[in-house]
Structure 1
Amino acid sequence: MHASDQTDEIMDPIDQDSPDTMLRRAALDKIQRLVSGDATAEDVEDIRRWRRLSPAHEAAFASATRLWDRLGPAVGSAEQRRATDAAASPSPRRVTRRMIVGGVAAASAAYLIARPPFEIWPSYAELTADYRTATGEQHRIALAEGASVLLNTQTSLSLRPSDDDDDRIELITGEAAITIDRELVRPLRVIAGDGRISARRSTFNVRYDGRNVGVTCLDGRVRVEQGESAVSLEASQQARYNAAGLGALVAIDAATATAWREGLLVFQAAPLAEVIAEINRYRPGRVILMNDALGQRQVNARFRIDKVDDVLALAQRLYGAKLTTLPGGVVLLS
C-alpha cells in the first residue's frame, strides 16, 4: 500500500465537506471553548442544550470527544489504548500524524487537561468555584484569623459556610498550600474528596487529582479523616487516601513536595511518564508520550515552572527521544 493510500484510508470525516462534518466541527468548537480556561457554567449548559437538539448532534459530540481519547496515549498501555479505540468505533483507525494534524487545530485546547482523572473540560463544580487558577497560574487567598491559601496551577477552591465547630474550605481539584501562622480558636477544615483535613496552627499541602488526595505536613500538626479512619501528621509526614481507604503515614522530603511554591519542579527517580503528566499541568497544550518504554526511563532533575519544556530537551538529549511539534502547544514525544 502506498503512503498516500494509507493516508486516505485513515482520513477522518472532519476532512470531508458534509453536514455531519459541520456538526462535528461545531462540537469541536464547543469543546475548545469548554477547555479554554475561560469557560463558564453557562457554557456547560449551552453544550447540554446543543447535544439535545437531535441524535445527530449527540453523535457529533460523541465523535468529537473520541478524538480526545485517540490523542491521549499517555494514559495506559498501547494494548489498552487499542482496546479503547476498538470499543469506540466499529472500524478502528490507526492514529497517525495526518489524523492528529487534521483534528488538532480544533481540538488542541483539550490538552489543557493534564491529569487523566479529569474530564475533557472543567466540571460544573470547578466552573462555579469561588477561586480558580488557570494553567501555569498561582494565586494567594487571605483568610480570616491569620490563615492563607496559595493555589497552584489548575486549582479550584470554594469557601463553605462555617458551623459552630470549624471554618471550612473545599479543594475541588488541584493543589493548595495552607498556612495558619497562629493558633486558631476553632480549626480550619479542608474538604478534599471524601476526606477532611483539619488544623489549628500548621503549614500543610493538599493535592487532589480527582481520585487521590495527598496531604503533606510541613510544620505543626494536621489531622486527616476519611470515614472511620484518622491519622495525625507532623512535619515531613504525608498521608494519602482514595476510594480504597486511608493509607499509612510516610516520611517525605517536604522541600521537594512543595518546590512548586518556589517556582520549581523537582523529580527524584521519577518515571518520565509521571514527569510528563506533571509538566502538562503547567503548560498550555499537551505533551503526548507515544512510547511506553520511553515513559519508564527515570528522571532525576529539577526544572523551573516557567521553563518546563526543558524536560523535552532533556528527554531528547539523554534518551534520544524524537519531538514532533503540532499546533496548539501539542508535542508528540516518541
Structure 2
Amino acid sequence: MTQFDDPPEPLKALDREALERVRRLGSGQAGEAEIEATKQWGRQSSDHAEALWQASLLWDRLGPAGENLLRRSGAALGRIEAAPRAVNRRAVLAGAAATATVAYLAVRPPLDLWPSINDVMADYRTATGETREISIAGDIQLSLNTATSIKLQKPADLTDRIELLRGEAVVTVGSQPGRELIVVAGDGEARARRAQFDVLHERDTTCVTCLQGEVEVRRGNAASVLRVGQQIRYGTNGLGAAITTDIAEASAWREGLLIFHQRPLAEVVTEINRYRPGRVMLVNAQLGRRVVNGRFRVDNIDGIMAMFEQIFGAKLTRLPGGIVLLG
C-alpha cells in the first residue's frame, strides 16, 4: 500500500452537518421549517456558509447517486477520516464522495471531483458567465461557452487534436486541404474536416450537434456521421442514435440567449447552473417535470427564476454562497 507522510485531517462536524442538510433538501425530504432552519444555519458564520456551499456543490456533481451516497454519509465519512493524507476542507469533502462512490478507502481522491483540476490542466478556459473566441492551428476557430476548459494535444501528421475537459465549445474547421480535427470529450471523439459543430461535455455525457458540413462521432467501436441539423449523445450507455434538432437552439448561447422548447424544468435548471455562480437546487421532483418554452437572456438568469415563481408557483429560497432552493 502506498504510504503518505502527512497525518490525516478528520472531517469536521460542521461539514458532516452541511452534507446531511443538503442531502435532505436535495431529496425533497425537508419541509418549510427545515428549509428555513438550514437558511439560518448557513448564516451563522462564514465557515457555515462555506460548508453549505461545498456540500451543495458536491451533491450537484454527484447527480442521482448523491442521495444514496450522502444517506450513507455517517459511515462513509467516518472511514475517510482514516485516509492517510492531510488536505483542506474542500479536498476532504471531495475525498469523502470519492471513497463512498467507489468503495475504495485510503487513496488519494479522484481528480475529477475537484472542479478546479480541469482548469489547472487546461490550455484555454472560461469562468462562469464568460465566453471567449480563440484561433488555433491557423484555420481552427473555437468559441468557448461559460465554465469551459480545453487542452491542446500534440498534432500527428495531418491531424489536430483538442480535448474538451468540461463545458461547451463551437468548433469551426477551415478549408486547409487534407487536415482533420479531432475533438476528444469524455470517452468519445468528434472528427471533422470542413465543418462547424457544437460539443457539450458535462459529467459523463457528451452531446455533439452538427451546424455545418459533416461530423463523425465515435465511441468505442461505434460511429455515426452527423449532417447539418443532427445531434447525437454518448456516455456510459454507449453511443446514442442521431436525431434532428434545432441548430439555432443549440448555438443560441453565442448570441447571449438560452432557448428552450418543450424542455423539462429539471433540464433547464441544469442548464442555467452553468451560467451563474452558486447553485440552483430543485427540491421538488414534480415541479422538475413541468415543461418550459421560451427565449431568455444569459445575463438575466435571476429573471428566469423569477418567471418560475410567476408561471409555476415555485418558491425560491436563497441561502448563503449563492445557493437557491427551487421548490
TM-score for the superposition, normalised by structure 2: 0.73
Task: Give the structure 2 partner of residue 116 of structure 1.
Answer: 61
CA distance in 1 between partners of 2:42 and 2:140 (Å): 47
Counterpart secondary structure, 1:176: strand
Task: Give the structure 2 partner of residue 58 of structure 1.
Answer: 10
Residues 71 and 100 in structure 1, CA contact (< 8 A), matched pair in contact too: no
Q: How does 1:85-104 map to 2 (within 5 A)?
A: 96-102=38-44
Q: C-alpha deviations, 1:87-143, integer Å up to 9, x for none?
A: xxxxxxx97333344465224654678963586632534322111111101111101
Task: Tell me if 1:304 matches 2:276.
Answer: no
CA distance in 2 between partners of 1:270 and 1:299 (Å): 5
Counterpart secondary structure, 1:161: strand
Q: Report the identity percentage.
A: 44
Task: Tell me if 1:283 matches 2:276.
Answer: yes
Q: How does 1:169-248 map to 2 (within 5 A)?
A: 169-248=162-241
Task: Give the structure 1 partner of residue 311 of structure 2.
Answer: 318
Task: Tell me if 1:263 matches 2:256.
Answer: yes
- Over 3 Å counting, the alpha-carbon distance change for 1:252 and 1:144 in structure 2 is same
Task: Tell me if 1:254 matches 2:196.
Answer: no
Q: C-alpha deviations, 1:218-266, integer Å up to 9, x for none?
A: 0001111111111111100011111221111100001011111110011
CA distance in 1 between partners of 2:299 and 2:23 (Å): 24
Provide the alpha-carbon RMSD of the alignment. 2.9
Residues 114 and 277 in structure 1, CA contact (< 8 A), matched pair in contact too: no
Task: Give the structure 2 partner of residue 106 of structure 1.
Answer: 50
Instruction: Specify every segment of 5 or more residues in structure 2 that has no aligned partner in the other structure, as ranges.
Output: 31-35, 64-111
- Over 3 Å counting, the alpha-carbon distance change for 1:66 and 1:212 in structure 2 is farther
CA distance in 2 between partners of 1:63 and 1:234 (Å): 52
Counterpart secondary structure, 1:214: strand
CA distance in 2 between partners of 1:72 and 1:279 (Å): 21
Q: C-alpha deviations, 1:141-166, integer Å up to 9, x for none?
A: 10123211111111110000011241
Task: Give the structure 2 partner of residue 71 of structure 1.
Answer: 22
Task: Give the structure 1 partner of residue 92 of structure 2.
Answer: none
Please tell me the residue identity of whatever aligns with 2:275.
Answer: Y
Counterpart secondary structure, 1:127: helix
Residues 73 and 290 in structure 1, CA contact (< 8 A), matched pair in contact too: no
Shift of 1:331: 1.9
Please tell me the residue identity of whatever aligns with 1:139.
Answer: R
Higher mean C-alpha displacement, 299-308 vs 106-115: 106-115
Instruction: Specify every segment of 5 or more residues in structure 1 that has no aligned partner in the other structure, as ranges.
Output: 1-48, 82-93
- Over 3 Å counting, the alpha-carbon distance change for 1:311 and 1:68 in structure 2 is farther
Counterpart secondary structure, 2:156: coil
**What count of residue pairs does the alignment treat as equivalent?**
269
Higher mean C-alpha displacement, 319-328 vs 304-313: 319-328
Higher mean C-alpha displacement, 167-176 vs 137-146: 137-146
Shift of 1:59: 2.4
Task: Tell me if 1:330 matches 2:315.
Answer: no
CA distance in 1 between partners of 2:139 and 2:182 (Å): 14
CA distance in 2 between partners of 1:143 and 1:176 (Å): 14
